[in-house]
Structure 1
């Protein structure tokens, strides 16, 4: 593990900085689109100015070697990485840190921690990289518990076994994305599961939150990559058998994929891999009409071409990220293979785009996937989490809402939802904001649209304004027919709308499963369902 310290209040390591030029560029954009004339900058919090409440519980001597109540550790495990989280951190509000942070070194440690917490009525929050943007790693505030513990799995970080013949690997769940790929590289295999939080998220976190990765088609969600897994629960260890596929009843792993630590702590998994790609080709396609671009993407999604990248980005978002001039939407379109050249597949996809008025920009570069408008958008996309704290420090709110909808309903949904976003920002802040959309993933039956808004808020009331906007926009998302989340998970922030989406009978079945696996209901209480009264 690296000795570098992560910021306890924001994204990245303490020694990482956003340059003055980057900040100046962002301020220029915010001024242009939000009408800001000057900025009052709130400095980031420091350890010295934060007072944390005394820990309510003390670990037993047998667990002292893996547990800590040190101030920095508790602060660093208080929040995830959403704008709402950062706004509370900049308010210096760390009133609900975990009482204890545990760093297990093996499965036995995990089980011992769960035994202690079950016996002493301590709520446990499994913790991967802390990249949740939906309140998924916050300690419970339920006063029925004697205390809270954050269970950080970062030391379970090894690739234990590689089956090159089947292209699979057995991997511990606490491994971070870059370390996973580093350990896989000598085998010539890759998981190829690159998401925006890749640098600071873990395999176990991807599985627990049912994350979606790099590929726009085929193997998009983590479900497609999990072959089997081991899970530590207060009732003992769960282990599924390893098959390519099985028709023997319901797939038991599906219970834990997306369960967000409410049923058990994922300790390792067999994951499906692929050979590292050697053939890659990308283009940027320009569309004067966003909906014509959506039509082209729909046909591509139903064509059997299966591009690795197929991200339609509206004109405003393209312009904001330096990938366009605001007059056209762009489609970042790419193919890759470890087996064969992909020129024919790309050519056919470009032909489909041409049928809907798209014009391809083919960069003359060996690494075409890193060049041109596509490369500019990609670089800004990866860098975006580092800008969030600087936006919050200036009162600039930027938040995202992602969903999934069938093709037949997309156009109406997009129009209604975008209007609702703009109205919510205007109503809450009293000023116009921005609203934009891109596709992150596509399926034959519908896209996964990803919406972003910017607004200029009141620095003294950012927390409240975030929630007022969140409630209005989330309600609109469900009202207009979208799911409350495609890949950001539920956490605590989405519970209100998940309850409307989830069948009542399933909630009762989930409650029965949780009571069997977690009899004292200590695991991430409030996620999915509330503890019994």
Structure 2
């Protein structure tokens, strides 16, 4: 029997904490944070959820199993996993559920769903692993649509072909991260793309959201791993030629990257893969201030050493994740290679850290031990921990951005101050922490976390108010509204202001050409939308 996802939170349903485990976790977290109720509130069970009747009926010609309209399936395809999604699901509130869920097993069935939806005037919301944190998979659509169909691509889940000579693999778009890596493992290869959602997100989802992955330098986004893409649009097949590079006009792949399901359904892609690393070396480097750590990051990013891991965590987040005592910022630094030892690169990197005031233990700190291991475990468990925080009345959410080095220190300070003020106004107290997830020669990607007590029933309202301040502070200081979380519906107001208007018009034109009925993920990137009007 297939495993089922938790209908409101992170992970598998059969991995949910038992009541006694939940109480123990709640008490420990409340004590560690200094706020939150030690007695957790129970989530509304699935059997008590009520949805409006479906407005759509599956076509009689559809193959058995292609469409479903039962309540559990519709519930599990209503939301992504942003804080506001998890809170609403926890309370049994499922706004804008899809009327039908389609699960195609091949490209022909994808075409059939799109053809039927266009004729029926139904919106189609592509759904991979359902891990969007920006409202990208919610059927929150404007316009006179007859209903909404959630298009679940997870049956397209195979590694189809491996080219060991070119080091590339042809992989279906609905495959989850663990299955992708398992399919490459027999060939001694890896994609080595590990977003925090790796366990439950899909390759197609990574491509259309320009997901950030394992590497903190060089190949930071899935963009850098894509060789070619194959997608189904309402007007036909969109497939680029498989090439290492091409100067033949604007790239067909680049337009699909970041398109968030508005231009087509990614069914396959050729990805650049690599041998699994066998040589590793790393350290946890401590800095008296976050600014000193930032100076070290810049030196590392501009050195040509290209560390695979280069993440700076401020002192408060280090303490929050048990990676430190709150007295120092922590730089998680790591190198890896499939071909040669990396100790020399690490030694050169540590010399740069020393010049910026960094200190470290001389013994190596493995990825699963010491401060590095503590932070890594907290990073991987964060989505699960957030579910417990919801149960004890604690707001826990993140937002990320990117900025050039010349503005880095002032930018982080200004955003942290603005959001900190908003947190105090909305919640009375709380924490705003910052880490840097990816670095470039010309800048970095700060990633902020908000943790605060919140009155039960007011969670969404309070977070939306804080998020509004965060978005305004980011744009005012010159940053981007998102570095790797995508735009979705939640970031649209700031994205509309960030992009050049001539580009927006060009995007509308492309949308109109490939989706003339305006059915694909309306309201994401472009809007307002309606059937047969994709503007």
TM tier, smaller: over 0.9
Q: Partner residue of 2:61?
A: 62
Tell me if structure 1 keeps the 8 A contact 2:289–2:329: yes
CA distance in 1, matches of 2:84, 2:297: 33
Q: How does 1:431-470 map to 2 (within 5 A)?
A: 431-470=428-467
Counterpart residue number, 2:525: 528
Please say which of residues 218-227 and 474-483 is displaced more in the overlay: 474-483
Residue 15 of structure 1 corresponds to: 14
**SS of residue in 1 equivalent to 2:408:** helix
| Distance (Å, rounded) in 1 between the aligned partners of 2:17 and 2:444 | 33
CA displacement at 1:92 relative to structure 2: 1.6
SS in 1 for 2:425: helix
Change (3 A) 1:122 1:363: farther
Q: How does 1:479-518 map to 2 (within 5 A)?
A: 479-518=476-515
Match of 1:173 in 2: 173
- Could you say what secondary structure the match of 1:361 adopts? coil
Q: Find the residue that maps to 2:14 and give its secondary structure.
A: coil
Which residue pairs with 1:72 in the alignment?
Answer: 72
SS in 2 for 1:228: strand
What is residue 190 of structure 2 aligned with on the other side? 190
- Distance between the aligned counterparts of 1:362 and 1:254, measured in 2? 44
Q: Could you tell me which residue of structure 1 aligns to residue 344 of structure 2?
A: 344
Residue aligning to 1:50:
49
Any idea what the Cα deviations from partners look like across 1:457-481, whole Å, max 9, x if unmatched?
Answer: 1112112111111111111111111
Distance in 2 of aligned mates of 1:179 and 1:357: 42
- Secondary structure at the aligned position of 1:360 is classed as coil
Matched position secondary structure for 2:97: coil
Q: Deviations over 1:37-89 (max 9, x none)?
A: x4453211212211111111111122252110011000000011011001111
Structure 1 residue 32: deviation in Å? 4.8
CA contact (8 A) 1:99 1:147 kept: yes
Q: Secondary structure at the match of 1:200?
A: coil
Q: Hey, what's the Cα distance between the residues in 1 that align with 2:490 and 2:91?
A: 19
Q: Report the alpha carbon displacement of residue 369 of structure 1 after superposing the two structures with TM.
A: 2.4
**Counterpart in 2 of 1:412?**
410
- Correspondence 1:263-342 to 2 at 5 A: 263-342=263-342
**1:54-453 map, 5 Å:** 54-65=53-64, 66-364=66-364, 368-429=366-427, 431-453=428-450
- Counterpart CA distance in 2 for 1:25 and 1:3 is 28
Deviation at 1:370, TM superposition (A): 2.1
Which runs of 5 or more residues in structure 1 are unaligned? none
> Distance in 2 between the 1:18 and 1:289 partners?
38
Compare 177-186 and 59-68 and name the one that shifted more.
Answer: 59-68
Shift of 1:254: 0.8
1: CA distance, partners of 2:382 / 2:217: 24
Structure 1 residues 362 and 520, CA, compared in 2 at 3 Å: closer, same or farther?
A: farther
Measure the CA separation in 2 of the matches of 1:42 and 1:370: 33
Q: Is the 8 A contact 2:67 2:103 kept in 1?
A: yes
- Is the partner of 1:132 in helix, strand or coil? coil
Aligned-partner SS, 1:358: coil
**Separation (CA, whole Å) in 2 of partners of 1:480 and 1:474:** 10
- For 2:231 and 2:173, locate their aligned partners in 1 and report how far apart those are by CA, in whole Å: 10
Change (3 A) 1:18 1:341: farther
Paired residue for 1:474, among 455, 471, 474?
Answer: 471
Query: For structure 2, which runs of at least 5 residues remain unmatched after alignment?
Result: none
Give the CA RMSD over aligned residues. 1.5
- CA 1:16/1:25 → structure 2, altered by over 3 Å: closer, same or farther? closer
Classify 1:10/1:312 alpha carbon distance in 2 versus 1 (closer, same or farther; 3 Å). Answer: same
Tell me which moved more, 412-421 or 140-149.
140-149
Task: Tell whether the 8 Å contact from 1:34 to 1:432 is kept in structure 2 after alignment.
Answer: no
- Structure 1 residue 18 displacement after superposition: 4.2
The structure-2 alpha-carbon separation of the partners of 1:105 and 1:462, relative to structure 1 and needing over 3 Å to count, comes to: same
Report the 3-state secondary structure (helix = DSSP H, G, I; strand = E; otherwise coil) of the residue aligned with 1:4. coil
Give TM-score scaled by structure 2 length.
0.96
Distance 1:143 1:254 in 2: 29
| Count of residue pairs brought into register by the alignment | 528
Q: What residue number does 2:4 align with?
A: 5
Q: TM-score, normalised by structure 1?
A: 0.97
CA distance in 2, matches of 1:386, 1:14: 12
Q: Conserved in 1, the CA contact under 8 Å of 2:283 and 2:364?
A: no
Contact 1:363–1:371 (8 Å) recurs in 2: no
